[in-house]
């Protein structure tokens, strides 16, 4: 059998696609090439194959129907930013925040490693659509992979199979993803993006964001570059819908760095006094945003499932997530109970005796090692989510009324504030940062600037990315309002000042009311901050001093903040838009001119 005939299929006549698959098969030389149709029969066949090979472990089907556990290689448990490259003709195009390599050099280096790399293995051709089928937002990708685990995860995370080939037709416009696990050796691991070629090559890892090429690689790094060249935005944002007791619907997109509770916010359960409000999920991680015919900003979630962090997920922190992972889910690197169920730290139940840890070893209660890996995950179809929005699959997307930026900050940033205008909102996003947690001592962790939560995911020069955000405003005649939030502010003893989780609904309500011109706020140099009386605190036990402090704007803290932000802008170099440096200078002048130390508390 020739390589070419091995790659033949009956699912598509798309010449460009068939030719590219054949080229990749000639390079990697798999024993067979299988085109995935996305059917239930195919899923069952691949699942059986994965179970037989020990790649998946069936869980207790009475407790968790159709659920499986996968244990990754212990050297392969997270995204590897240091091995992730943006390969553009010039270094300037990738910018100072990305690892860069010249495309020709990287292709040549990887080709050597890929040569014959699928011998003895099967190459799966995985066609997928990012975004609702038939939507003007949507894009088609093809991932070639030698991992059944990847195929089964892609089936949950994307609209995968024949439907993607139907949407592609005979167009040559598709993302070309080539993934090979090789020997899962960190020395032979590379995740490389070639934006100009709409191509991703990933080798040496089978894990999550490195291997499910639809997610961070395509839907953020490559798509952010497509968005820049085509006039739209690909963002690290959840999308949620809010319905008031009067039936008024508002859609919000929100960017937070990893581990700041994005999945929890996307499927929040409102507190009892807000029981007549409904929160629905459109997406928990990625948003693609375009200007709609009405001049507003509209968004879709390009994904079809959730790849959520398991530890910390509990009935208290995320009731909907606990319900949705009850069936038809794949778990990666969580602990296994003796009765074939899963367990992780922060689940709010005692670990049972006889637990097996994420590496497959017996785990003893009280052990200092975690039973579940801190980055262990669940993969779940979005249709499992009891709070899924009826608009989640809408080809037109949803109209976004508010954009939220947020990080984990022990000091400085108030619970919520609204930007003065679009440029100031972009400034808020560009300067956002998150601190590493500093246990109970209250000491402030290390601050990492993570603009728009996109630092690891922007596929081109960060300065140009800021410029693109500013330029988008010219086409948006009805821009959403932009807010900055911080659920994590602490007192001097290190206690959180705000309860977070479902109580964040109160902040969302203030945001909805601001969008609709109904709520008050106090203008300060850093933004419009609510007074305590402007937030609906009914039914919440919180000390008046805590709410005062969580909303306070402290001039000296903001001076330090702006000094640090200006330093960060300096690292971006000449592509940094002058408007944002100007915003920084103006804010410092306004702070100098401000008389009061804690304006919101003092002013009303």
The footprint of Mn ion (CB under 5 A) covers: 285
Q: Is 177 left (phi over 0), alpha (psi -120 to 50) or beta?
A: beta
Residues with catalytic annotation?
Answer: 260
Number of helical H runs and strand E runs in the chain: 18, 29
Looking at the Cβ atoms of 25 and 462, the one nearer to Mn ion is 462
Question: In whole angstroms, what is the distance from residue 381 CA to residue 305 CA?
Answer: 4
Measured at CB, which residue is nearest to Mn ion? 285
- In 76-93, which positions are buried (b, 16+ CB within 10 angstroms) versus exposed (e)? bbbbbeebbbbbbeeebb
Report the nearest approach of Mn ion to the CB of residue 209 (Å): 8
Q: Of 258 and 273, which CB lies nearer to ligand OXD in the complex structure?
A: 258
Smallest separation, CB 385 to ligand OXD (Å): 16
Q: Does 209 bind ligand OXD (CB under 6 A)?
A: yes
Q: Which does 201 bind (CB under 5 to 8 A by kind): ligand OXD, Mn ion, none?
A: none
Task: List the single partner that 209 binds among Mn ion, ligand OXD, none, CB under 5 to 8 Å by kind.
Answer: ligand OXD
DSSP H/E element including 312: none
9 binds, options Mn ion, ligand OXD, none, Cβ within 5 to 8 A by partner type = none
Question: Minimum distance between the CB of residue 142 and ligand OXD, rounded to whole angstroms?
Answer: 22
Question: Using CB atoms, what's the residue nearest to ligand OXD?
Answer: 258
The values of phi and psi at residue 50, to 5°, are: -70, -40
- Answer with the entry of ligand OXD, Mn ion, none that 393 interacts with (C-beta below 5 to 8 A by kind): none
* Minimum distance from residue 220 beta carbon to ligand OXD (Å): 9
What would the DSSP string read from start to end of 450-483? -GGG-TTT-SS-HHHHHHHHHHHGGG-SSPPEEE
Q: Is the dihedral of CA 79, 81, 82, 87 positive or negative?
A: positive
Closer by beta carbon to Mn ion, 28 or else 281: 281
Question: What gap in Å lies between CA 290 and CA 296, rounded to an integer?
Answer: 8
- Binding partner at 93 among ligand OXD, Mn ion, none, C-beta below 5 to 8 Å by kind: none
Residue 302 makes contact with ligand OXD by CB under 6 A: no
Q: Taking CB under 6 A as the rule, does residue 435 contact ligand OXD?
A: no
Which of 308, 425 has the CB closer to ligand OXD?
308
Minimum CB separation of residue 332 from ligand OXD in Å reads 11
Number of residues this chain uses to bind ligand OXD (CB under 6 A): 4
Please say which residue, 235 or 418, places its beta carbon nearer to Mn ion: 235
Distance in Å, CB of 279 to ligand OXD, minimum:
20
Measure the CA–CA gap between 270 and 387, rounded to whole angstroms.
12
Q: Closest CB to ligand OXD among 258 and 575?
A: 258
Q: Which does 99 bind (CB under 5 to 8 A by kind): Mn ion, ligand OXD, none?
A: none
Contacts of 142 (CB under 8 A, 6+ apart): 17, 20, 21, 125, 126, 127, 128, 164, 174, 175, 176, 177
> What CA–CA distance (Å, rounded) separates 221 from 189?
18
Residues 433 and 444: beta-carbon distance below 8 Å: no
What's the rounded Cα separation, in Å, for the pair 271 and 501?
9
CA angle 347, 348, 351 (to 5 degrees): 75
Q: Toward Mn ion, which CB reaches closer, 379 or 583?
A: 379
Between 34 and 219, CB nearer to ligand OXD:
219
Give which of 352, 356, 338 is closest to 71, Cα–Cα: 356
State how far the alpha carbon of 552 is from the alpha carbons of 432, 448, 533, 544, in Å: 18, 22, 14, 12
72 and 332 Cβ atoms separated by less than 8 Å: yes
DSSP for 210-264 reads HH-TIIIIIIIIIHHHHHHHHT-EEESEEEEEEE-TT--EEEEEEE--TTSSHHH
Q: Among ligand OXD, Mn ion, none, what binds residue 554 when CB lies within 5 to 8 Å by partner kind?
A: none
Closest CA to 384 of 323, 321, 324, 304: 324
Task: Kindly state the smallest distance separating residue 410's Cβ from Mn ion, in Å.
Answer: 22
**Structure letter (DSSP) for residue 131:** S
194 binds, among Mn ion, ligand OXD, none (CB under 5 to 8 A by kind): none
The listed partner (ligand OXD, Mn ion, none) that binds 302, CB under 5 to 8 Å by sort, is none
Q: How far is the CB of 285 from ligand OXD (least distance, A)?
A: 5
Which helix (H) or strand (E) is 347 found in, with range? Answer: none
Q: Which of residues 479-508 bind ligand OXD (CB under 6 A)?
A: none
Scanning 245-366, the segments in alpha helix (DSSP H) are 262-266, 319-324
Closest CB 441 distance from Mn ion, rounded Å = 28
Please pick, from the candidates 122, 163, 258, 273, the single residue that binds ligand OXD as defined by CB under 6 A. 258
Give the x/- contact pattern for ligand OXD in 281-300, rule: CB under 6 A: ----x---------------
Please, where are the H alpha helices in 83-122?
91-94, 103-114
For residue 529, which phi and psi values (nearest 5 degrees)? -115, 135
Cβ distance to Mn ion smaller for residue 237 or 430: 237
Binding site for ligand OXD (CB under 6 A): 209, 258, 285, 307
């Amino acid at each position: 059998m020739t390589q070419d005939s091995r790659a033949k299929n009956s699912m598509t006549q798309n010449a460009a696609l068939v030719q590219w698959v054949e080229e990749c098969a000639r390079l990697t030389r798999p024993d067979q090439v299988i085109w995935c149709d996305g059917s239930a029969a195919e899923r069952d066949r691949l699942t059986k194959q994965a179970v037989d090979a020990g790649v998946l472990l069936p869980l207790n089907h009475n407790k968790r129907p159709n659920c499986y556990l996968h244990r990754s290689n212990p050297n392969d448990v997270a995204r590897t930013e240091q091995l992730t490259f943006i390969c553009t003709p010039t270094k300037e195009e990738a910018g100072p925040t990305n690892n860069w390599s010249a495309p020709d050099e990287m292709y040549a280096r990887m080709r050597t490693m890929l040569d014959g790399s699928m011998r003895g293995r099967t190459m799966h051709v995985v066609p997928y659509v990012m975004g609702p089928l038939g939507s003007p937002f949507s894009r088609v990708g093809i991932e070639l992979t030698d991992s059944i685990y990847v195929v089964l995860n892609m089936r949950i995370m994307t609209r995968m199979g024949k439907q993607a080939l139907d949407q592609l037709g005979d167009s040559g416009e598709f993302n070309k993803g080539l993934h090979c696990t090789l020997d899962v050796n960190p020395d032979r691991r590379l995740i490389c993006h070639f934006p100009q070629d709409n191509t991703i090559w990933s080798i040496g890892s089978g894990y999550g964001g490195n291997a499910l090429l639809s997610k961070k690689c395509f839907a953020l790094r490559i798509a952010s570059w497509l968005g820049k060249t085509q006039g739209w935005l690909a963002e690290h944002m959840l999308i949620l819908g809010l319905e008031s007791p009067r039936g008024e619907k508002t859609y919000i997109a929100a960017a937070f760095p990893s581990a700041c509770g994005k999945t929890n916010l996307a499927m929040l359960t409102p507190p009892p006094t807000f029981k007549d409000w409904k929160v629905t999920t459109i997406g928990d991680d990625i948003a693609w945003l375009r200007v709609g015919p009405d001049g507003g900003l509209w968004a879709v979630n390009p994904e079809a499932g959730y790849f959520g962090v398991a530890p910390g997920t509990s009935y208290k922190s995320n009731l909907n997530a606990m319900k949705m992972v009850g069936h038809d889910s794949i778990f990666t690197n969580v602990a296994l109970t003796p009765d074939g169920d899963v367990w992780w730290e922060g689940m709010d139940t005692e670990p049972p005796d006889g637990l097996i840890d994420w590496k497959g070893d017996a785990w003893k209660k009280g052990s200092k090692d975690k039973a579940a890996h801190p980055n262990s995950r669940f993969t779940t179809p979005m249709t499992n989510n009891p709070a899924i929005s009826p608009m989640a699959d809408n080809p037109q997307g949803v109209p976004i009324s508010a954009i939220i930026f947020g990080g984990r900050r022990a000091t400085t940033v108030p619970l919520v504030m609204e930007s003065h205008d679009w440029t100031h909102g972009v400034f808020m996003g560009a300067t956002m940062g998150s601190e590493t947690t500093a246990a109970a001592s209250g000491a402030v962790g290390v601050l990492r600037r993570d603009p728009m939560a996109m630092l690891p995911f922007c596929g081109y020069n960060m300065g140009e990315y800021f410029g693109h955000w500013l330029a988008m405003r010219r086409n948006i005649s009805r821009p959403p309002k932009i807010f900055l939030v911080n659920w994590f502010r602490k007192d001097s003893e290190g206690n959180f000042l705000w309860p977070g989780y479902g109580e964040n609904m109160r902040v969302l309500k203030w945001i909805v009311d601001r969008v609709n011109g109904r709520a008050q706020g106090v203008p300060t140099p850093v933004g419009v901050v609510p007074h305590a009386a402007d937030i609906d605190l009914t039914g919440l036990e919180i000390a008046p001093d805590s709410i005062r402090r969580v909303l306070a704007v402290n001039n000296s803290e903001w001076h330090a903040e702006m000094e640090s932000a200006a330093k960060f802008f300096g690292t971006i170099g000449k592509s940094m838009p002058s408007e944002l440096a100007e915003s920084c200078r103006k804010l410092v002048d306004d702070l100098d001119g401000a008389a009061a130390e804690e304006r919101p508390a003092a002013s009303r």
